[in-house]
Structure formats: C-alpha cells, structure tokens
Amino acid sequence: MPKEFSRIDRIADQIQRELAQLIQREIKDPRLGMITINAVKVSRDMGYADIYVSLLTTEDLTEESPEVQESLAVLRKSAGFLRGQLGRAMKLRMVPHLRFHFDRLPGKSRRIDSLIDEAMGRKPVVDRSDDPESED
C-alpha cells in the first residue's frame, strides 16, 4: 500500500510552488539572478522552512561565488515580505520562517556526470570544435 504524503510534505510542495511565482513576479531586485527553487523542507513544528535554491548559469558556482552571495542576500532580506505573501496565498495560521540555502547538488551532479562520461570514453553531445564562432 503506497504511503500517503504527510501534511508537512504537502505544505512544503505548496510553499515551493508559491515562492517560485512570488520571486519571479514580486522581487524586482536586479542583483537577483535566475533562481530555481530545488527543494523546501519544513520542520515538524512548522517553525522553519529551509529553501534550497540554485542559480541558472553556464558556469559552476559555489556557495562562495559573488553571484550566489548576492542572490542569497537579496532573498534573505526579502524573507519577511515573502513570508507575508505566503501567508495570504496559502491561508495558513502559522507560516514558517524562511531560511534560504544554496543547493550544491546540481553542480555535484554535473561533475559526476562528466566523470562518468570521461570514464566511459563518451564525447560531449555538443561538439564545440565545429562552432562557427570559435573560428573567428
């Protein structure tokens, strides 16, 4: 028999959906990059929600990268506003405090994928040697 989702899991999923829309529509700070919310984990007592975000870029970023630090600072500064908007949108009696974290998993997975490709002797899907821009 399949396990049902708990209330905390459903709330975390809803927070993830609502925050994605709120960040895209309401936060107009130019320092904020293209943010993806990868996961939301809500504590059992609904006191805190840990939001794991990543930035959409072509380069591998770490938590110490200036772009990541700037984006996290903007998100942390707007956490109170986002929490209030979440309360209105979700109609929760108690809205958890929002804590934003950089998610290192996408970078690690790209690294592991490249190591596997290298070990298997596979070529990249996109061959950069035939790029017309590189001949200039």
CATH class of 7-121: alpha beta
| 36-90 pLDDT tens trace | 899 999 999 989 999 999 887 656 677 777 888 888 899 999 999 999 999 988 8
Tell me the torsion sign for CA atoms 26, 49, 102, 54.
Answer: negative
Strand bridging mode 48-55 / 97-102: parallel
Has this prediction a pTM greater than 0.85?
no
The domains of the chain are located at 7-121
Per the CB < 8 A criterion, the answer to whether 103 and 40 are in contact is no
User: Which residue is it, tokens 């007592």?
Assistant: 45
Q: Which helix (H) or strand (E) covers residue 19, if one does?
A: helix 7-26
Whether 33 shows a pLDDT value over 80: the answer reads no
Token code pair at residue 73: 């600072």
DSSP string of 44-55? TTSSEEEEEEEE
